[in-house]
Amino acid sequence: MVNQEEIHSSQMELSISVIIVDSTRKIDAVSHIHDEIEMIYMMEGYMDFFFGKQHITVNKGQIIIVNSLIIHSSKVVKGVYTKYCKIQFCPGVVYDIRMSEYKYLTPFINHNAFSYRLLDSSLNEGDLYFAKMMVSVANEYYERNIAYEIQIKSHMFGILAYLYRADILALDVSTSIGKKRVLLLKFDNLLKHIEENYAKDISLQDACKMMNLNYNYFCRLFKEATGKPFIKYVNFIRLAVSEKLLRTTDKPITEICYETGFSSCSYFDRSFKQFNGYSPLTYRKKFQIAEENSTPQHTKAGSQ
């Protein structure tokens, strides 16, 4: 089964993890998946990365950007000294609307926009700037001089701006979400309540009472804020949780169905397939590919 990587954030308020590491330590990674977007700048040597059966070698001076919820693994070439700078950050950081508090919603905002992208600091001045900003973030974190948190934020804004300008992150998505900021904050307590109680019966009537809004006004406002009718939003959260349980546990599908609040397995199966195109069983098998990486197919380095 594919491993769900647990990210230990070095700066919780920034929702990022930063590390510079070399091959004197074990830095290979078996097939895994995580909610964070990952950026790796190869400072020395080179390293192989695998996306299912696709294989890409990242050389010195190159940066690989891996999207959230993308299965990947990496392997150091024996005898080659390798050193890299890695930054992982939550998609919620991109949208700057306290979305990181909605733990089941944010990972799916940027999902499927891209699998990975490759930048090359030896060929492009912009990519060189990007690499320097990554190292600056790491240096600020390790040195921890006065106001280092502010400086890290400044560098991260520069990194994010470049990702937008390079069409790696979709500006139109963040802009549309940004316009909904006030509405999302209005529903803040309710959204948290849903994420904490998705396994229970959450009725539309109870939600209206919680918000002290009449039925019609609540329905219109909630859909405007989230893009989904209330019941579909609740099921969206339940399906998001079920995806994670299918990837990261061996729990029976029936158990996952009821644990995430669905009333029947047939309804769960039908809803799950509508959500991502696969049945729960097919989805689980799709992510059980760790051993398949032993015979990767080499592809040309580039964006996917």
Three-class secondary structure of residue 177 per DSSP: helix
- Antiparallel, parallel or unpaired: β 3-4 and 29-33: parallel
Q: What pLDDT shows up at residue 83?
A: 95
Rounded Cα gap, residues 115 and 81, in angstroms: 27
Q: What pLDDT shows up at residue 177?
A: 54
Residues 130 and 190 in one domain: no
Q: What pLDDT shows up at residue 80?
A: 93
Residues 150 and 216 in one domain: no
296 part of a folded domain: no
Number of domains in the chain: 2
CATH number for the domain spanning 280: value is 1.10.10.60
303 part of a folded domain: no
Angle at Cα 109 formed by Cα 30 and Cα 185, nearest 5°?
Answer: 130
20 or 109: which leads in pLDDT:
20
Residues 109 and 253 in one domain: no
Residues 14 and 91 in one domain: yes
Q: What is the mean pLDDT of the chain?
A: 81
Residues 259 and 191 in one domain: yes
Residues 61 and 146 in one domain: yes
Q: The domain containing residue 107 runs over which residues?
A: 3-177
**Structure tokens given for 294:** 């032993």
Three-class secondary structure of residue 68 per DSSP: coil
165 part of a folded domain: yes
291 part of a folded domain: no
Length of the chain: 304
| Confidence tier at 10 by pLDDT (50, 70, 90) | very low
Over pLDDT 90: what percentage of the chain? 41
Contact at 8 Å (CB) between 95 and 113?
no
pLDDT in tens, 148-169: 888 888 898 888 888 888 888 7
Over 60: is that where the pLDDT of 28 sits? yes
pLDDT in tens, 70-120: 878 899 988 999 999 999 987 655 554 444 455 665 555 555 567 889 999
Contact at 8 Å (CB) between 41 and 20?
no
Over 70: is that where the pLDDT of 172 sits? no
Q: What pLDDT shows up at residue 297?
A: 41
Over 50: is that where the pLDDT of 129 sits? yes
Amino acid at 36: E
Rounded Cα gap, residues 224 and 184, in angstroms: 9
Domain end among 153, 177, 201: 177
Residues 73 and 141 in one domain: yes
96 part of a folded domain: yes
Over 60: is that where the pLDDT of 304 sits? no
pLDDT in tens, 38-62: 999 999 999 999 987 789 999 999 9
CB atoms under 10 Å from CB of 273, counted, come to 14
97 part of a folded domain: yes
